[in-house]
Every structure is written in C-alpha cells, then in structure tokens.
Amino acid sequence: MAATCEFAHDGWSDDEEETPSGRRPRRQPTEVTMLGEGLVYFVRTDRRIKIGFTTDLRRRPDRSAPGEVLHTEPGSIADERRLHAAFQDLRLRGDWFRADPRLLDHIAALKAKATA
C-alpha cells in the first residue's frame, strides 16, 4: 500500500521568512544532516519524482507538491546528493527528476532490499 503525503526539503525553520521569489532560503547542511540522522525519500507526482532529504517527514509539508511516497530510507544529505548526481541526466529542476524506468527500477531495488 502506497502512502500519500506532502513534502519539502528540510533545512530551514518555520519562522524564517520567504524570499521575494516565494521560496524559503536553504540553510547550509550541518554535520549531523551530512552524515545521517534523517531520511532520503522518493515522492512521485505524475511523471516526476522528487528525491529529497528530511529530518522529520511529518514536519515538512510542501503544499505545492503532494504525491505518492514510493520509498523512504535512513540517510543523509550526502546520500541525497549522490542520488541527484547518479540521476543527473533525468533532472528536471531542483530535487525533481523524470519518472524514467531506470529511476523507478532503482527505487524498486531499494524497496526490495529493505524488505529482504
């Protein structure tokens, strides 16, 4: 059963103001988030997949991008960045990637490994 949720990239507090463009500024990663202490997640919306990182899935809603949670696993910002680099050719913008069979197969393999 797939979960449906809404997400954004972690890295700012709720009291920070948005920039004139409407986006919140991202903070520099801390040592803790670079080394672990969070989750890497894959969320699908239509033909796009977001590869993101968060320290609290419930706390980081992104009202503009609800979607189906395909997979989550313990990880770090460094892990998220490695995935972004591995699928650079599929990048649409930011954390968003084309829902290509290669990326979907990778996510399926991660899910299978997690349940083995």
pLDDT tens for each residue of 98-108? 999 999 999 99
Longest Cα separation, the chain: 47
Tell me if residue 34 falls in helix, strand or coil.
Answer: helix
88-94 long-range contacts, CB within 8 A, separation 24+: 92/48
Tell me if residue 61 falls in helix, strand or coil.
Answer: coil
Query: What average pLDDT does the segment 21-46 reach?
Result: 66
pLDDT at res. 13: 35
Give the mean pLDDT of the chain.
75
pLDDT at res. 63: 47
| Cβ-contact 43, 69 below 8 angstroms | yes
Distance of CA 69 to the CA centre of its chain: 10
CA distance 55 to 13: 12
Residue 54 pLDDT level (bands cut at 50, 70, 90): confident
Domain residue limits, the chain: 30-115
More confident residue, 71 or 12: 71
- Residue 16 has, within 13 A of its CA and on its CB side, a CA count of 13
